[in-house]
Structure 1
Amino acid sequence: MVIDTLGNAAKYFLLHPSFEKAFAWIGSIDFATIEPGKYEIDGDALKGIISDAAGKTAEASVAKFECHNQYIDIQVCIRGVETIGWKPREKCVVENGGYNAEKDVQLYTEQPDMYFQLTDGQFVVFFPNDVHAPMIGEGNIKKIVVKVKI
């Protein structure tokens, strides 16, 4: 997992060949006007998702404590304060159903080891070993998720 601000994104370009393109797309967006929805960035290699939704309780988010096998998530907070739960996958032992290949999601019945917050212009990168519970907060949270094919 990586947590930082968009101003430091270039430091992480070497972590994956598509990160530079992903962060360039994020940098090209007008955060104030972009509409929620799915955006094609580079075919199956990079996909963007914009959401603007009410924050959830920790209990509701942890009920879908998730990780992915085929994609890395770059999650950027555009507006609001988002709390996210995290735990390393190797510490998760109780699966909540099997792996869903169509949605690239594995759920766990676990509790996060830690919580952290993102605010405007901060991002987190979740690799397949990062189990996460996003969208915890009050009020609406507007965010970007870029799915980066491994």
Structure 2
Amino acid sequence: MIIDSLQNASKYFGLHPNFKKAFDYVNQNDISNLPDGAIEIAEGLKLIAISGQGNTREEAVKGFECHDKNIDIQISLKGPETFAWKPREKCVNPNGEYSDERDVRFFHDAPDTFFELQEKQFAILFPEDVHTAMIGEGLLRKVVIKVKI
């Protein structure tokens, strides 16, 4: 997992060939005003704009998840937004089977830690990062960029 500010995004371009394309899209478009929903940015890159009321920690961890085929770049646009996290190798209580169609696996495990993103900060969550988000008060707004591995 990586946590940083958008101004430092170029430091991570070398980690995946599509990271530069993802952050170029963010910098060249008004992502704050995108309607909720998904946009195909390029081959292997999908942006999902999300807004909604923040959840409690207890409610949010019901969606404790990870992905096998995608890396998430989650960017906070209106927050602050709290995330829960735990390394996948420490998760031992699956919540159902892996969904290949949705590329998601859920867990009943308790998070190891919580962290908070402020506006214009991001988290890069790799397949080994079990996570949940949208924890907070009031209206939260974000984009999630799915980067195909």
User: Equivalent residue for 2:71?
Assistant: 72
Task: Please state how far the C-alpha of 1:104 moved relative to its aligned partner.
Answer: 0.3
User: Equivalent residue for 1:10?
Assistant: 10
CA distance in 1, matches of 2:71, 2:33: 26
CA distance in 1, matches of 2:119, 2:113: 21
Is the partner of 2:47 in helix, strand or coil? Answer: strand
CA distance in 2, matches of 1:141, 1:31: 14
**TM-score normalised according to structure 2 size:** 0.97
CA RMSD in angstroms, aligned pairs only = 0.8
Give CA deviations for 1:80-102 in whole Å, capped at 9, x if unaligned: 11000000000001100010011
CA distance in 1, matches of 2:95, 2:17: 32
Counterpart amino acid of 1:6?
L
Aligned positions of 1:35-46 closer than 5 A: 35-43=35-43, 45-46=44-45
CA distance in 2, matches of 1:123, 1:149: 18
Consecutive unaligned residues in structure 2, runs of 5 or more: none
Give the 4+ runs in structure 1 shifted more than 2 A: none
Aligned positions of 1:1-150 closer than 5 A: 1-43=1-43, 45-150=44-149
CA distance in 2, matches of 1:66, 1:29: 29
**TM-score normalised according to structure 1 size:** 0.97
Task: Please state how far the C-alpha of 1:33 moved relative to its aligned partner.
Answer: 2.2
CA distance in 1, matches of 2:33, 2:128: 33
